[in-house]
Structure 1
Amino acid sequence: MIWRPRADQLATAVTHPHSRWRPAVAAVPRHVFIPQWWTREEHGWSLHDGPADPDHWLDAAYADRSLITAVAGHHADGADPDHHPTGRPTSSATLPSLLIQVYRHARIGPHDSVLDVGTGSGYGTALLAQRLGDARVTSIDVDKYLVEAARERLSSLGRYPLIEVADATDAIPGVHDRIIATVGMPHIPASWLRALRPGGRLVTTLADTSLIITATKQGDGSAVGKVEWDRAGFMAARSGRDYPADATDQLAAAWTTHGDVKISPYPVVDVEQAWDLSSMVALTIPGVEHGYRVEHGRRIAVMAHPDGSWARASSTGPQPASVHQGGPRRLWDQLDAIRAQWLTTGELPVRGARVRIEPTGRTVLTRSGWHTVVKP
């Protein structure tokens, strides 16, 4: 299979000409790590078999896009073409430009040892090993199958980094100069600070946000850094085959349920497409889920939380939204409070915030009189 020209084109697309990552992207055959993948269709998720259609395989593998490799714990590898799973994606081959973006934030030196949190397909691990050498790369994933598949695929290329099954929110192996997560973390575990050498740097996103946190370990065992002005988003870390129960049922009910009624001072917003707003909401109300659609010119947004809180807002164009909400919390009221802060100050404070991670993992974000705490 002629893949090298494709890999070279991908390297040109996702790196600048003098990037130290350019040779790695050009040298790693991405298709090896994605023999099968899922795409979302109206009737559920549909399977794509790479070897059955080599041209389509190469087109997909060497495009700068993420490919879903597991849905609700169902791996694409070896799946029945007639199987159409439902649920959330649980693993993917991350788009290469996003991997390079995160690696740049890590400021990886040629002699640094790296812990790669979230092996996934193994492609990112391969890029790290290609640049740094096998001995400097450790990769972990909670999914035993993904670990075994990544080992096999890397070994087929003559690469043997250490890859282990581990829960990123629990104890992690070794001591490292860099810790890089390509999963969204609910919090920064204390184990990460213990596994990071003094002066070492960690890079992660917070689950359900687009916030990239970078921090350097201090002599007292804490780490200090910032929320980068850049943005990135990854699947949330999990501790099992699938994610735990969430607000899916409440979100479905929110489209039709009637509750307390109010008129918002603001029009409907598609929260998930407003990255800073959705990040603030996720920090303020962890676990909240969103939905959005347009019906006959009317925009409708819903919110729901596992505690039973829900909200539905609808409006036409820029008109103030009519809101129904119920449960123990008034979710749309909390959203409106965040939007009021945005309009008052001209921006939301989370991007660019200072970060301090205590040895316990307690993480404090502060900026311009605002602060929030992400607890372990």
Structure 2
Amino acid sequence: MPPDDLNITAAKLRQQLAAQLAAGDSLRSPQWRTAVEDVPRHEFLRQFYTENLGPGVTSWTPISSELVGAAEWLTIAYSDQTLVTQFDGRPLDWNDPNPVSNANPTSSSTLPSLVVRMLEDLDVHDDMTVLELGTGTGYSTALLCHRLGDKNVTSIETDRDVADRARIALASCGYYPRLLTEDGRHGYAGPSPYDRTIATYGVRSVPAAWVKQTRPGGLIVTTLRGWMRSLGLVRLTVDGDGRAEGPFIAADPSFMIARQQAAPANMGMIPAPDDGKTRETTLGREALSMPDSGFVAQVVMPNARHFTMRDDSGIESTYVLDAENDSFAVLTQQGDDTWTVRQGGPSALWDDLEEAISLWHAADSPPPTGFGVSVTPDDQRVWLGSPDGPSWTLPK
């Protein structure tokens, strides 16, 4: 495709994407709409992988202009989907690209509707300064530069190869923000305090540096997540002295967890058949996986993961293992609606979950947006309903 035709086609696709995001209520302001219509996402996605949806092992297909043609490449680049640009923290060989399976995505360009929705929720105004954690491909960084100007944007990426590619792509579009390669959980104190802080990856709790480096009255927008699932998107207002507070504003956004906080490879020791004490329970394994009760389970058991397997006699059980203190709960179905739980260790995991589920039901079982977060120098808590309501401690 000749360069002029490519640019014309890309501009039309950006307008279509902006219209789609506006219709879906992700894009709400004229300033951000102009940014979406002007910033060429394809420049940040010269090569990427798309997920193959279907049964079986998850796999990804390589996409570039050379592989599929310019028209299809552009169409996918401007679709509202997450496009993967790295697996397992290693550079990809685009001299001989092949489908990928049995791998973990570690960098991507997140679906534009989520990126734009977060930027809208950041509530920026002209000349505000922003600290972005997770440069990634650089697309969201470019949107920020378009809206606020390069000098007001600081972006941190933990992976040097990813950061280098983002820097090249940003420069090709005429954007030169402050770019740093380091652990974003420490933020960057250089030009702080920032008016706004935004993270495009998940964290188990809000890093103290982000709170300290955001001015009183400023906002932090980030995803909280655990080792079982994402909790949701929070927007916190900083009030000084290491304190911040605010609600969950969306459930289960699709962001990867910070690499430094990834779950340990070893899920923990499987308990012996006679370990722990057994009793009946009204909660089954679905409490761990359903959207809303799963949120509660992640809050209550922040260091746990679960899996299901059969023992030597063919009985299927679900194991919940805490990687930090070796507590466990083993669920076994006895009938259509009857379960037993065998639990042991320092924490009674299933007792804690049953109590939390009971409190949640008493509050009319709200979605994640019925919860919020309070951050202090001493601890961080997820609360139900209001800061004075039932609460659970986030891991440090």
Q: TM-score range by the shorter chain?
A: 0.7 to 0.9
Moved more, 154-163 or 40-49: 40-49
User: TM-score normalized by structure 2?
Assistant: 0.79
Specify which of 78, 92, 102 is matched with residue 94 of structure 2. Answer: 78
Change over 3 Å in CA distance of 1:142–1:113 after alignment to 2: same
Asked whether the 8 Å contact 2:268–2:322 carries over to 1, the reply is no
Pairing of 1:263-342 with structure 2 (within 5 A): 263-269=280-286, 271-274=288-291, 276-291=292-307, 302-307=319-324, 308-313=326-331, 315=333, 319-323=337-341, 329-342=347-360
For residue 91 of structure 1, report the CA deviation from its aligned partner. 1.8
Which of 23, 38, 53 is the aligned partner of 1:27?
38
Task: Provide, for residues 189-209 of structure 1, a one-character-per-residue CA deviation record: whole Å limited to 9, x for no partner.
Answer: 222133212332211121233
Distance 1:328 1:223, change over 3 A: closer
Query: Using a 3 Å threshold, how does the CA distance of structure 1 residues 98 and 313 change in structure 2: closer, same or farther?
Result: same
* 8 Å contact kept, 1:30–1:61: yes
Counterpart of 2:60?
Answer: 46
Paired residue for 1:199, among 217, 231, 234? 217
Which amino acid in the other structure matches residue 374 of structure 1? L
Match of 1:221 among 230, 234, 241: 241
Describe how 1:70-149 pairs up with structure 2 within 5 A.
70-76=86-92, 78=94, 80-82=96-98, 84=100, 86-149=102-165
SS for the counterpart of 2:219 is strand
Q: How much does 1:337 deviate?
A: 3.0
Quick check: 1:5 aligned with 2:5?
no
Q: Which amino acid aligns with 1:245?
A: P
- After TM superposition, give the deviation of residue 71 of structure 1 in Å: 2.4
- TM-score scaled by length of structure 1: 0.82
Residue aligning to 1:66: 82
Which blocks of at least 5 consecutive residues in structure 1 are unaligned?
A: none
Match of 1:237 among 243, 249, 258: 258
On the 8 A contact 1:272/1:290 being kept in 2, the answer is no
User: In 2, distance between residues paired with 1:350 and 1:17?
Assistant: 23
How far off is 1:184 after superposition? 1.2
Q: Which residue identity does 2:234 align to in structure 1?
A: I
Q: Describe the shift of the 1:354–1:340 C-alpha distance in structure 2 as closer, same or farther (beyond 3 A).
A: closer
1:325 CA displacement: 5.3
Letter in 1 for 2:285: V
Code of the residue aligned with 2:286 in structure 1: it is V
Which residue in 2 is equivalent to 1:362?
Answer: 379
Are 2:244 and 2:375, in contact at CA under 8 Å, matched by a contact in 1?
yes
Name the SS for the 1:24 alignment partner.
Answer: helix
Q: 1:121 to 1:289 in 2, by over 3 A?
A: farther
Shift of 1:119: 0.9
**1:68-112 deviation line (CA, Å, top 9, x unaligned):** 222221344638534745343222211111112211221111221
Structure 2 residue 384 is matched with structure 1 residue 372: no
**Structure-2 separation of matches of 1:272 and 1:163:** 38
C-alpha distance in structure 1 between counterparts of 2:356 and 2:374, whole Å: 23
Using the TM superposition, give the Cα deviation of residue 18 of structure 1 relative to its aligned residue in structure 2, in angstroms: 4.8
Seen in structure 2, the aligned counterparts of structure 1 residues 372 and 9 have a Cα distance that, compared at 3 Å, is: same
Q: Deviations over 1:3-53 (max 9, x none)?
A: 222111111111257542111112222222221225368455434132211
1:163 corresponds to which letter in structure 2?
L
Which whole-Å CA distance do the structure 1 matches of 2:335 and 2:179 have between them?
51
Name the CA distance, whole Å, in 2 between partners of 1:203 and 1:361. Answer: 21
Matched residue, 1:179 = 197
Q: Is the 8 A contact 1:37 1:69 kept in 2?
A: yes
Structure (1 or 2) with the larger CA radius of gyration: 2
Aligned partner letter, 2:19 = T
Does the aligned pair in 2 maintain the 1:121–1:150 contact within 8 Å?
A: yes
1:169 partner SS:
helix
| Match 2:233 to one of 212, 222, 227 | 212
Tell me the distance in 1 between the aligned counterparts of 2:154 and 2:188: 10
Q: Offset at 1:349?
A: 9.2
**Distance in 1 between the 2:13 and 2:333 partners?**
47
CA RMSD of aligned residues (A): 3.4
Residues 183 and 236, structure 1, Cα contact 8 Å, conserved in 2: yes
For the structure 1 residues 347 and 79, does the alpha-carbon distance in structure 2 shift closer, same or farther, using more than 3 Å as the test? farther
Give the whole-Å Cα distance in 2 for the aligned partners of 1:47 and 1:216.
41
Alpha-carbon shift at residue 302 of structure 1 (Å): 4.7
Aligned length: 364
